[in-house]
A = this chain, B = another copy of it.
Amino acid sequence: MELIKRNTDYALRALVHMAETANDTIHPLGELAAVTGAPETFLRKVVQKLDAAGVVATRRGRGGGVCFQKDPDVITVLEVVEAVQGPVAINKCFVSNRECAGRRDCLIRRNLGGIQTDLTDLLREATVGTLARRASQA
């Protein structure tokens, strides 16, 4: 089981790269694809999700590209993961609880739910800004 899928990996790489320049710099997808190693068409989908989530803004046309819509210091890793991969859940039931039908006594819901909270808290502690600063040190 991998917590971070390829699309989130690409997203984090792109965001950290962006955080290493001035926040209002516009980065065309081609540049982000090159630096992240992601196929450009695939990265575009990822960026669209970050856009929909309000993490980045995009501009079309000549001189267009991607820039931050928020300060990288307030963009949490959780936010990025959820934007590109969808919800982080302990099991299917914590995504849509219709799955629980007929199992109201389920031990997962009753006993492991707390782990979900602890996990999301962990992912909320790291921000793109802190990652970028640590990444730029030797």
Considering the chains assembled together, what is the distance between the CA atoms of A105 and B132 in angstroms?
12
**Chain A: interface secondary structure?**
helix
Residue of B nearest to A102 (CB): B37
Q: Does A91 contact B (CB under 8 A)?
A: yes
Instruction: Name the contact of A111 in the complex, choosing from B1, B90, B126 (C-beta under 8 A).
Output: B126
Tell me the smallest distance from the CB of A81 to a CB of chain B, in Å.
8
Considering the chains assembled together, what is the distance between the CA atoms of A111 and B88 in angstroms?
19
Copies of this chain, whole number:
2
Known: A2-B92, A9-B108. 13 other contacts (CB 8 A): A1-B85, A1-B87, A2-B91, A3-B89, A3-B119, A4-B91, A4-B112, A9-B91, A37-B103, A111-B126, A115-B126, A118-B122, A119-B122
**14 A-B pairs with C-beta separation under 8 A:** A1-B3, A1-B5, A1-B81, A1-B86, A2-B89, A3-B89, A12-B107, A13-B106, A77-B112, A105-B135, A110-B135, A111-B130, A112-B126, A119-B119
